[in-house]
Each structure stands twice: as structure tokens, then as C-alpha cells.
Structure 1
């Protein structure tokens, strides 16, 4: 079997698996976030944290819950790293330096999982499990909660959907953040993670709390490695679109990803919730066809990017590439070019950031594809929760553009899109590019950060552009040639991750509140049908045009210049 055919077959198998999981998981998630009942374990958690899950929240209260919980997470994870030397199971590792501890805390709380450290040489068992793994669960649950709150903004007040029983929802209510958070962890992420971890352990991923010991090498000699609860962290890093690896080599390490099957399974975990939540959206708004329209938009972009990536990596010219059957540098031979291309596209079109190959070693155009995937806003299908609310923001923009074309007040799902809604959507779209381009310009202009570049020219610029694109979009992957473990990069990328995560959430929840306060308008013959292929095409075009106009100059200086050289 040729490598191209093998890649295509893996792609088809992945699509089939996602298609089978889409309906049952999407329907289950809709039930989770509209149920009136609390599980017993959930009641214990509410009592422990002092939260009333039956209190409905308007958008300012929901925002305060998101920010307060996340701020507490940053502080806890920062202190845990600074005290590591005094904790049991530290494996002899010292406390993490202040700038790196801040960067890591911001990274995992913001669902980015950017890592400027070597996991197997820096983090002990307690920090890995009680700190990083826990944040993998709760940061993902926060993203889903915000997405669900936005969906409620579209369906309220004419629908009585709510996050819990108790007081009926008023106009402008978005549910209860604490209820949405706890349900996301208890009913969704933990059950799937348990099953997924068992699959990974059965396939060879390690799961233990051993200390540092010697491991034999195939070519002779030994190497020191520490063990860890790798399988349990690996599954939630993919399922929650987090991405932080237990080892520096991330998902290219055989302890994290030993076989072609586990590689495909991990890609499946990355895409599972972002793909299925489109059905959740369709059920909650009362039209499954609306969910299919969003899914079709995501799938069109994802399949197109995978096809382009395979073409660039299989067809690159040159004697070395032709002899090897493609651009094999930086890719694991046990996975091959096809599987590595699928993984690279999936991890950068979601907010995952896990890697089974090194993106810096991709061809110039291949590296540009990974960059562009993040610059789209990671919406195809995007991160857990963040992909859906990012796509819905762009759906609003597309409806607005269509309204301008025909001279009609734009409407989406029975809600009018007025000046306030467009301003909030515009702020959401502009904040991330502003962070990326401003931080990149400062890093290129100042001598200290520029000294961290291993490469000069277009590829060196791409390294820094990739770093801030990854941080601001909460992705976490990196071009390997940049030394990001400096005070400048730890601090600025940390700030970019926090601002890139929580400022957009504020705009999303403000938009949800604005929509929830509106009375629904009846659908008329002149209304734009947003569940038709025509609208899907308009939405895809809107996404590509907005991204192209925003980032094309930067891409032209980096990956495009390198790829066309």
C-alpha cells in the first residue's frame, strides 16, 4: 500500500468514526445542558464550593463566574509550581521559575497548553496530575459553558431551556455558570476520558507513578526517563482540545502515542466534541438543520486544509523528497506523512496544539497551512466550546453581510442583528489579530526576543509569528526553532494567552445577553435561510476573506515567502 493511499484510508476511517459518534454524543450533550435535575455527586460539589446551581444568571454575572473561577485557577497552579520542591512526588525537581510558572499557569487555565519547558525534566507527579491534568478538564468545561450560554441567547426568551431546575428564567438569563461547569466535567469529560484512557493503556501508553529510571535504547545504551500518569492526561489533553504533553516530544513520543492506531484515535478525540456539539446547537435552537449547516461549514474547511496539507507534503520537489516519497523531515516513520498531515491540520484548526510531528520541519507552504488554521480562529471545528461560539460569531457577520447586499435588516435564528450585536461581534473578531500582530511586531523590533530565533529570514519571522498566533488563539503548538523560555516570551505569550482567551469570552457573553433580551421575530419569505448550502458557501467565503484581509501581509512575509522561494 502506498503512503498516499494509506493517508486517504486513514482520513476516511476518521470521518466514518466521527459520523457514527456525531448523533448520539450531540444528543446526549443537549440533554446534559437542558436537564432540570442534579446528580448526587454534583450536589456535593455545589455544596463544597458554596454555589447555588438553581440561580439564573444574566451575562454580567456569568462573566464574573468565568473570570473568578479562572483567576483562582491561575493563582492555584502558579503556587503549585512555585512550591514544587516541597511537594511529594516532585522527582527531585526544583520549583519552577516565576516567569515560567506564570506562563504555564496562564497556558493551562486558558486551554492553550503552550509549554516553554521540558515536561519530563521539570514537572513532578503532583504538578502534572493535581495541577495540569485538572486544568485540562475544567478549562475545557469553561469553553463549553460559554458556548452553551451563547446558544441560550439565541433561543431565549421564547424557549424555557435552562441549565437547571428552580427559578424560571427571566428575559436576559443565560443559565448558571457553576451548573454548566460542573455538568461539563462530571457528565461529559470524565466519562469519556475514563474510557479513552483505558483504550490508550491497552494500546501501550504508560500509566504509573514511577520515578526516574533507565530505559534501554534500540541502538544500544540507556537513557533516563521518568514515568507518570500519561494515559489519563493524554486522553483529556486531546478530548478537551488542550494539547500539553507529559513529555517534551508531545504526541510524537512513544510513551504518549505508540502506534498508528493510537495516533488516529487521538485525532478522533481531538475532533469528537467540536464536531458533535454542532448537533447539540441544532437541538437547542429547535432546528437540527441549523446544526448541520454549521457542521458543513466546518467540514468544508477541514477537508480542504487536509487535502492541501497532504499535497504540499507529498508533492514537494527535490531529489531528497522524491527519494523519501515526500517531505519526511520531522515526522515519525511509524505514522507517515498522511497521518501526520491529518494530525497537524486537526490540531491547528482546533485549539489543541498537540503535535505528532514538528511543524517547523514542514514545507514552507505546509507550515503556512498550520498558521492559517489558527488564524481562522480555530473554528473548523475548533476547540471544545470555543469552536462553536467562534463559528456563530462569524455566522452573525455573514448574515449581516447578506443583509447589506439585499437591503434587509439581518436576522439569525429569529433574532435581529443590530448595531450592538455587530459591534460586539466585531470586537470579538478584532481582538485576537490585534494581539498577534502587535506582540509579533514588538518581538521583531526589539533585540532581546529576536536573539531567541534559531533561523533568520522568512522562517525566523514565521517562528515568532507562529508563537504569538498560537498563544493568542489558545492553540499551544510551536515552531520548534524558537527558544521561548525567556522572560520576554514567558511574560508576553502568557499575557497573550490570557487576553486571547477571556476578552473574547466577555464579548461572546455580552452578545448572548443582548440576544436573550430580544423578542423573537417571525420568519418571513424574505428571510435568509441559514440552513441551506447557499448560506454555507457564504459563511465559508466570509471566514476566508476576513482572515485573508487581516493576516495576508504577515503570511506573505513568512511562510508564503519561504514556500515560493
Structure 2
């Protein structure tokens, strides 16, 4: 079997698996968030927290719950790292420095999981499992809760109530993330991933030297880091490390975990608003962008010029032979388009044009299919923009799912879309203007600029992946990227929940002959066009200075 055939079969198997689970898993998640029952374990959690899970909240109260919970999580994770040297299972590691602890806490609480440290040589078992892995569950559940709140805004009428944040948070964790991650962890162990609490061991290398090999609760953290679109690796090499990703089967499973919730949530959306076609239109738009990205990166990497690339069958620098061009490209596009940050190859080693596609995947807002929860609410905000543009073209008040898109709604949607570009481009400009940015670049010219642009785009969009080799472990970058991660996560949520509250208060508008049919392929095309045009206009100058200049050179 040649490599091209293997790549096609791999892609076909992945798409088939996602298609098979789309409906049942989406329906299950819809049932989770609409069930009137509370499990016994859930009731115990509510009593411990002191909340009434049946109390309906308006959007300001829902937002206060999101921010309060995330603030407590941030402080807890920061403190855990600062006292690591006094904790059991620390493996003798020192306490994390203040700027690094802030960056890491902001990273994991914001579902970014940007890492400017090597996990196996900095974090003990307790911090890894009791701090980082726990936040992998909770930050993902927060994103799902906000997405469900926005969907309720479309589904409800003449009320400002969006549900209960605490119930949504607990249900997403207990009924969705925990059981699926547990099964995935067992499968990863079966494929060869490590799961233990062993101390680092010294082993002899083939060359006669020695090195330390670390163990840990790797499989369990790997499962939720991918399922929750988190991305923080137990090891510095992330999913290119054989303890995290032993081979082709585990690689395909991890890609499936990256995509399964984001690609299934549109079905949940369709069920909650009472129209499956609306969900199909959203998932089709996500799928078109994702598939185009995979094809573009794969073809570009195979066509990379040069003798070395021809001998290797492609641009194999920075990639694992176990996965090849197809498995590496598929993983890279999936991780940058899902707000994950998990990597099985060094994105710094991709060709200039391929790196540009990976950057564009994040710059689109990571909506194809996007992060857990954040991808769906990002795409729904774009849908609001798309129907507004369509309304302008035909000269009528735009409507979406029976709700008028008026001045307030379009202002909230526009503010949402402007936040991450302002953070990413502003942070890049600041870094390039200061000596810290120049010192951090391991390359000069267009590629060096791409490294800085990638770092702030990744942080601001809560992705977490990086161009390998970028020296970001400095007080300047730990602080500025940490701030970008927090602002890029929680400021958009403010506008999403405000939009949800505004929509929920409206009375339904009946369909007329002039109503745009948003469950049709025409709307899917309009949605894809809106995503590409908005991001293209915003980020094209920066892309022209970095990956496009490098690729065309």
C-alpha cells in the first residue's frame, strides 16, 4: 500500500467515525442539558457548592457564575504550582516561578494549555493530575455551558433566562467528559500509552550514555486533553512522544477525540432549537473549512521542494516517521482548527504556506469545528453576521431562527469578532517593537515574524500550540501571552451571553416569503464565505508579512 492510499483510508475512516457518532452523541448531549433529573453525585456537588441547580439565571448572573468559578480555578492552580516543592509526589521539582505559574494557570483555566515549560522536568504528579488534568475537564465544561446558554437564547422567547450555569457545568463534566475520557484512556493504555505514578528512571542509551525517562498518569491526561480540546501535553514533546501517542492507531484515536464533540454539538444545537436542518447547515460549514485545510496542508507538505523532501517523500523535518505526512498534516489542521494546541509534529518545521494555513485556522476564530463549546458559539455569532449581510443585500430586517437581528445584536456580534484580532495583532506588534520579541525568535525574516504572530494568535484564540523553538519562557511573554489568553477567553463570553440574553427576550418572528432559509446549502456557503472574508480582511496583511512571504520566496 502506498502512502497516498494510506492517507486516504485514514481520512475516510476518521470521517466515517465522526459521521456515525454525530447523531447519537449530539442527541445524547441535548438530552443531558435538558434533563429534569439530577444524579445523586451531582446533587452532592450542588450541596457542597451551595447552589440551587433548578434556579434559572439571566445572562448577568450566568456570566458572574462563569467568571467567579474561573477566577477561583485560576487562583487555586496558581497556588498549587507555587507550593509544589512542599507537596507529595512533587518528584523533587522546585516551586514554579511567579510569572510561569501565572501563565500556566491562565493557560489551563482558559482552555488554552499553552506551555512554555517542559512538563516532565517541571511539574510533579500532583500538579499534573490534581491541577492541570482537572482544569482540562472544567475549562472544557465551561465552554460547553456557554454554548448551550447561547443556544437557549435562540430557542427561548419572551424570557431573559438562560438556564443554570452550575447545573450545565456539572452535567457537562459528569455525564459527558468524564465517561468518554475514561473509555478513551483505557483504549490509549491498550495501544501502549503510559499510566502510572513512577518516578523518573535513568536508562542507558544505545550510544553508551544515559538519560532519564519519566512516567506518570499520561493516558488519562491525554484522553481529556484531546476530548476537551485542551492540548497541554504531559511531556514537552506532546503527542509526538511515544508515551502519549504510541502509534498510528492511537494517533487516529486522538484526532477523533479532538473532533468528536465540536462536530457533534451542531446536532445538539439542531435538537434544542427544534430543527435538525439548522444543525446540519452549521456542521456542513465547519466540515467544508476543515476538509479544505487538511487537503491544502497535506498537498503542500508533499510538494515541498528540495532533494531531502524528495528522498523522504515529503517535508518530513520535525515530523514522526510513525505518522508520516498524512497523519501529521491531519493532526496539525485538526488541532489548530479546534482550539486544542496538542501537536504530533513541530509546526515550526512545516513549509511557509502550510504554516499559513495553520495560522489561518486559528485566525478564523477556530470555528471549523472549533473548541469544545467555543467552536459552536463562534460559528453561531458568524451566522448572525451572515444573516445581517444577507438582510442588507435584499433590503429587509435580518432574522435568524425566528429572532430579529437588530442594532443591539449586531453590535454584540461585532464586538465578539474584534476581540481576538485586536489581542493577537496588538500583542504581535508590541513584541516586535521591543527587544524581547527579537531575542525570542530563533529565526530571522518572515519565519521569525511568523513565530511571534503564531504565539499571540495561539494565545488570543485559546489554541495553545506553538512554532517549536520560540523562546517564550520569559517574564515578558509569560505575562503578555497570559493576559491575551484570559482576555481572549472571557471577554468573548461576555458578548456571547449578552447576545443570548437579548435573543431570549424577543418574541418569535414568523417566517415569510422573504425569510432567508438558514437550513439550506445556500446559507452554508454564505457562512463559509463570511468566515473567510472577515478573517481575510483582518489578518491578510499580517499573513502577507509572515507565512505568505516565506512560502512565495
Q: Which bin holds the TM-score, normalised by the shorter protein?
A: over 0.9
Counterpart for residue 406 of structure 2:
418
Deviation at 1:217, TM superposition (A): 4.0
| Mapping of residues 242-257 of structure 1, within 5 Å | 242-257=230-245
Give the Cα separation in 1 of the matches to 2:28 and 2:184.
18
Unaligned regions of 5+ residues in structure 2, if any?
Answer: none
Give the Cα separation in 2 of the matches to 1:7 and 1:362.
18
Alignment deviations for residues 489-532 of structure 1 (CA, whole Å, 9 cap, x no partner):
00000000000000000000000000000001111111000010
Counterpart for residue 367 of structure 1:
355
Give the Cα separation in 1 of the matches to 2:154 and 2:204.
58
Answer yes or no: is 1:472 the counterpart of 2:460.
yes
Deviation at 1:68, TM superposition (A): 0.2
SS at match of 1:296: helix
Answer yes or no: is 1:438 the counterpart of 2:426.
yes
Answer yes or no: is 1:33 the counterpart of 2:21.
no
Give the Cα separation in 2 of the matches to 1:25 and 1:124.
35
SS at match of 2:36: coil
Give the Cα separation in 2 of the matches to 1:187 and 1:56.
20
SS at match of 1:54: coil
Counterpart for residue 276 of structure 1:
264
Deviation at 1:221, TM superposition (A): 4.2
Alignment deviations for residues 239-282 of structure 1 (CA, whole Å, 9 cap, x no partner):
00000000000000000000100000000000000001110000
Answer yes or no: is 1:144 the counterpart of 2:132.
no
Answer yes or no: is 1:265 the counterpart of 2:262.
no
User: Residue 386 of structure 1: which of 374, 377, 384 is its match?
Assistant: 374
Counterpart for residue 72 of structure 1:
72
Conservation of the 8 A alpha-carbon contact between 2:157 and 2:503: no
Counterpart for residue 563 of structure 1:
551
Answer yes or no: is 1:539 the counterpart of 2:527.
yes
Q: Post-superposition, which runs of at least 4 consecutive aligned residues in structure 1 deviate over 6 A?
A: none
Counterpart for residue 21 of structure 1:
21
Give the Cα separation in 1 of the matches to 2:207 and 2:179.
40
Give the Cα separation in 2 of the matches to 1:386 and 1:562.
31
Deviation at 1:7, TM superposition (A): 1.2
Answer yes or no: is 1:124 the counterpart of 2:124.
yes
Alignment deviations for residues 75-125 of structure 1 (CA, whole Å, 9 cap, x no partner):
000000000000000000000000000000000000000001000000001
SS at match of 1:440: helix
Deviation at 1:317, TM superposition (A): 1.7
User: Residue 499 of structure 1: which of 472, 487, 493 is its match?
Assistant: 487
Answer yes or no: is 1:520 the counterpart of 2:539.
no
Deviation at 1:414, TM superposition (A): 0.3
Give the Cα separation in 1 of the matches to 2:223 and 2:443.
34
User: Residue 207 of structure 1: which of 195, 202, 207 is its match?
Assistant: 195
Deviation at 1:6, TM superposition (A): 1.3
Alignment size in residue pairs: 553
Distance 1:40 1:560, change over 3 A: same
Counterpart for residue 84 of structure 1:
84
Deviation at 1:220, TM superposition (A): 5.3
Deviation at 1:218, TM superposition (A): 5.4
Deviation at 1:157, TM superposition (A): 2.3
Alignment deviations for residues 545-564 of structure 1 (CA, whole Å, 9 cap, x no partner):
00000000000000000000
Deviation at 1:216, TM superposition (A): 4.7
Give the Cα separation in 2 of the matches to 1:500 and 1:139.
14
State TM-score, norm by structure 1. 0.97
| Mapping of residues 91-130 of structure 1, within 5 Å | 91-130=91-130
Counterpart for residue 474 of structure 2:
486
Deviation at 1:449, TM superposition (A): 2.6
Alignment deviations for residues 417-472 of structure 1 (CA, whole Å, 9 cap, x no partner):
00000000000000000000111001000112321111110000000000000000
Counterpart for residue 4 of structure 2:
4
Conservation of the 8 A alpha-carbon contact between 1:251 and 1:257: yes
User: Residue 315 of structure 2: which of 327, 346, 367 is its match?
Assistant: 327
SS at match of 1:224: strand
State TM-score, norm by structure 2. 0.99
Deviation at 1:219, TM superposition (A): 5.4
Deviation at 1:186, TM superposition (A): 0.3
